[in-house]
Amino acid sequence: MAGQVLASVTVSLTKLPANGNVGSVSLPSVPIYQLGNPQLRIFRPNWFLTLVRPGKEQPPDTAQFRVPMEMTKYDVKNYLEKIYNVPVGVVRTRIQFGSNKKRNHLNQKVKKPDYKVAYVQLAQGQTFTFPDVFPEKDQTPAEGSMEEMQNKFMEDEKQRQKLDPRRGGVTEWFGL
């Protein structure tokens, strides 16, 4: 236990919020970086990444993550490289604004939270495609089961309701 090497994440500059609300920040009381300070290292970071399916099609070497707002590009890169051993080429981030337009039953504006998206391009020619998490299940029910008999009954009923196919779609009230 004592000799165990913990994975450390080299962190880049992160600003503390001005109002000193320490509860929402994952790094308690970290002073702002000044020239000459040692490199800040975090062991066991309190950040969690979410791998998401891209809304728009991305190149095959790109993976899309939702990351906490406090993380920067270099944080994401170090996080993936040190903790998950993923060869990361380059990371680009953007902040997605969550809409404040919807209103609730009291006509108050309801804010959807903002979140940061990171596009991670993998190195060493690796590719990644988001897997199909909800594959289509085969709808045919098992042999001799209740569902199969019900389906068959419904189909027979529908068949009985249909008109004679020899009439060619002509309605019943035409004729003798």
What is the DSSP annotation of 46-110? S---EEE--SS---TTEEEEEE-TT--HHHHHHHHHHHH---EEEEEEEEEPPP---B-TTS-B-
Q: Which is nearer to other proteins, 26 or 58 (CB)?
A: 58
Give the x-and-dash track for 80-109 against other proteins (CB under 8 A).
Answer: ---------xx-x-----------------
Q: Is position 10 an interface residue for other proteins (rule: CB under 8 A)?
A: no
Q: Is position 14 an interface residue for other proteins (rule: CB under 8 A)?
A: no
Binders in 106-135 for other proteins, by CB under 8 A: 121, 123-124
Whether 65 and 76 have beta carbons less than 8 Å apart is answered as yes
Q: Which is nearer to other proteins, 127 or 150 (CB)?
A: 127
Q: How far apart are CA 122 and CA 45, in angstroms?
A: 22
Residue 28: count other Cβ atoms within 10 Å of its Cβ. 9
Q: Is position 52 an interface residue for other proteins (rule: CB under 8 A)?
A: no
Q: Which is nearer to other proteins, 85 or 124 (CB)?
A: 124
Interface with other proteins (CB under 8 A), residue total 11
Q: How far apart are CA 176 and CA 168, in angstroms?
A: 16
Which residues here bind other proteins, judged by CB under 8 A?
Answer: 57-59, 61-62, 89-90, 92, 121, 123-124
